[in-house]
Amino acid sequence: MDVSNLAFSIAIAVLCLPCTVFTEANFKVPREIASKFSRDPQILSLASTDYGHIVHETPSQVFEPSSVSDISSLIKFSNSLPTPFTIATRGKAHSILGQAQARRNGVVLNMTNLKGSLVSVSNCSGKSLNCYADVGGEVLWIDVLHATLERGLTPLSWTDYLYLSVGGTLSNAGISGQAFRFGPQISNVLQLDVVTGKGELVSCSRDKNSELFYGVLGGLGQFGVITRARIPLGPAPTRVKWLHLLYNNFNAFSRDQEHLISFSENKNTTAADYVEGMLLFNQPPLDLSFYPDSDHQRITSLVTQNGIIYIIELVKYYDSNSQVAKDVADLVKGLNFVPTFIFEKDASYEEFLNRVYAEELFLRSKGLWEVPHPWLNIWIPRSRISDFNEGVFNNIILKQNISSGISLIYPLNRNKWDDKMSPVTPEEDVFYAVSLLRATSSIDMVKKYESQNQQILEFCKGAGIKITEYLTGNKTQKQWMEHFGSKWKLFADRKAQFDPKRILSPGQGIFQ
């Protein structure tokens, strides 16, 4: 045995503790990846946490690939061992409950080490209907935006925050205010390259290796590692009209939101390009940064009088001023917001899409970015959204004397989702996404938020509201089976087909 193999055998012995100590006699060391493992304390520490800063699992090693073949070799190597080690794929690790972490002496696969992957835009004009970008799974959406805008093109569906990896959001769903019209990001994929849980590199689409394609999209990393995605593109606008409409009545708010997302390709009507909603609770400090200083006092008074104010965030894209004023007027015509409480900004398309980054920079300057984030993200059927408003927003969040953080609520059209894909959605034509986005540096506040989250889930269960949790974790296998419901057998069968030794994505806790 040469020195490199000896060193690697020792490393694997450490890696697999308390596994068997292997020698070259009973397994073949893949020399090409021997130097890719790291036990540097700083690297291990970084891999032991995520954006949530709530769950901490230290991996045995971190694997830093320089090519897709390295990823394939790593997974094949694990499969070859009598006791395979688990592998957690980590992009930007914007997970909340340790989903990007490895457990039980596993390995974290650091996708950010794949330097040099380009966003390759197809050779087409901005007016073409067949434009697309081939994007590495580790590439950030902000880089996709920049590369496509250079060609006058853009993806159609986004997340609110763009400093996330393509593979990461496609492994979940990827939703934002465009999803009512274009569907989630997983509905906007033409092809994928995936390294399966067997270590096989497979190209797949709706027509080729479709079972893997449908499984991986929204599959929580259980079936393979996304190494390339082909994303359809459309002509990029240059500017946006960005509106906030304030409501003091929930029924009027939800009714108007549902009206705005009732866009149909066959109707000769003006369609919104983005629709979300948010809440202002009478729990200072209020975030009024969107609004002119001269209006802060009257907005504060409105919140104080009503307890909760509901805000529709409405955006219309445009390229010239000639038509957009009429389009905006058509969109807001007949909406029942509080009179005079309509606010408008004009921004560049990129400025709007990348709006959360400015907030990140502010929070980083205050030391409030890398703190615990006890978030709760759930999907709620339209038929029960008023019950949820009364039971949760009014009788839990408003009544408890803790800051509400950022609270989002907006409807989605289920017909924009492909039920062959892995995610589970409420079984109604329209369902609402509710995101309670909190951040705190206080351990006591983390516990209070987690307690409040649990109260919300228990309320929904007691009231018979069939919610679906999104970006969730820390569940038992029985709870995961309940989560997937009628899709559980398909999900488990796909696991058996593409990752039979249950190597991938241990942090989700679904099969480990």
- Concatenated DSSP letters for 309-356? EEEEEEEEEESSHHHHHHHHHHHHTT--PPTT-EEEEEEEHHHHHTHH
> Which of these three, 353, 377, 403, is where a domain ends?
353
3-7, 90-94, 115-119: which is most confident? 90-94
Do 30 and 174 reside in the same domain of the chain?
A: yes
Q: What is residue 26's predicted lDDT score, i.e. its pLDDT?
A: 44
- Report residue 362's pLDDT band, with 50, 70 and 90 as the boundaries: confident
Q: Which of 353, 388, 411 is the last residue of a domain?
A: 353
Mind listing the pLDDT tens digit for each residue in 138-177? 999 999 999 999 999 999 999 999 999 999 999 999 999 9
Do 343 and 218 belong to one domain? Answer: no
Domain annotation covers residue 88 = yes
- Residue 115 identity: K
Residue 129 φ then ψ, to 5°:
-95, 0
Examine the domain organization and report whether 267 and 281 are in the same domain. yes
Residue 405 has pLDDT above 70, yes or no: yes
Spatial contact of 452 and 400, defined as CB atoms under 8 Å apart: yes
Burial label, 307 (beta-carbon count in 10 A; 0-12, 13-18, 19+): middle
Asked whether residue 358 is domain-assigned, the answer is no
Q: Residue 339's pLDDT is what? A: 98
Query: Are both 11 and 154 inside the same structural domain?
Result: yes
* pLDDT at res. 212: 98
Establish how many alpha carbons lie within 13 A of residue 21's alpha carbon, considering only the half-sphere containing its beta carbon.
Answer: 6
15 and 161 assigned to the same domain:
yes
pLDDT at residue 117, as a whole number: 65
pLDDT digits (tens, 9 = 90+) for 112-138: 988 656 789 987 754 556 899 999 999
pLDDT confidence tier of residue 395, bands split at 50, 70 and 90: very high
Tell me, yes or no, whether 63 lies in a domain. Answer: yes
Together in a domain, 223 and 197: yes
Which of 51-60, 65-74, 129-138 is least confident? 129-138
CA distance 374 to 113: 28
Residue 260 near residue 313 (C-beta atoms within 8 A): no
**Catalytic machinery residues:** 94, 160, 276
Amino acid (one-letter) located at 166: V
Q: Are strands 153-154 and 234-235 parallel, antiparallel or unpaired?
A: antiparallel
Quick one: angle between helices 488-498 and 477-484, nearest 10? 120
The pLDDT assigned to 8 comes to 42
Interatomic CA distance for residues 218 and 221, integer angstroms: 8
pLDDT at position 455: 98
- Domain-embedded: residue 303: yes
User: What is the predicted pLDDT for the residue at 125?
Assistant: 57
State the CB neighbour count (10 A cutoff) for residue 292. Answer: 10
Please say if the pLDDT value at position 509 is more than 90. Answer: yes
| 194-231 per-position pLDDT tens digit | 999 999 999 999 999 999 999 999 999 999 999 999 99
Q: Say if residue 130 is in the same domain as residue 192.
A: yes
pLDDT, position 127: 54
Examine residue 340 and state whether it is found in any structural domain, yes or no: yes
At 326 the pLDDT is 94
Residue 398: inside a domain: yes
Whole-number pLDDT of residue 29:
55
CATH number at residue 428: 3.40.462.10
* Count of structural domains within the chain: 3
CATH number for the domain harbouring residue 56: 3.30.465.10
Average pLDDT, integer, range 83-109: 94
Residues of the domain holding 241? 237-353
464 and 504: one domain?
A: no
Q: Do the beta carbons of residue 507 and residue 101 sit within 8 Å? A: yes
Same domain, yes or no: 232 and 343: no
- What is the chain's mean pLDDT, rounded? 92
Using the 3D structure, point to which of 353, 377, 404 is the last residue of a domain. 353
- Residue 400 half-sphere exposure toward CB, CA atoms < 13 A: 18
Sheet of strand 342-348, all strands in order from the earlier edge strand to the far edge? 342-348, 239-247, 308-318, 274-281, 406-413, 430-437, 376-381, 468-469
Residue 363 lies in a domain: no
pLDDT of residue 20 exceeding 70, the answer is: no
Report the pLDDT value the prediction gives residue 209, as an integer from 0 to 100. 98
Q: Is residue 79 part of a domain?
A: yes
Q: Is the pLDDT of residue 348 over 60?
A: yes
Indicate if 141 and 196 belong to the same structural domain. Answer: yes
User: Domain check: are 372 and 417 in the same one?
Assistant: yes
Residues 175 and 125 in one domain: yes
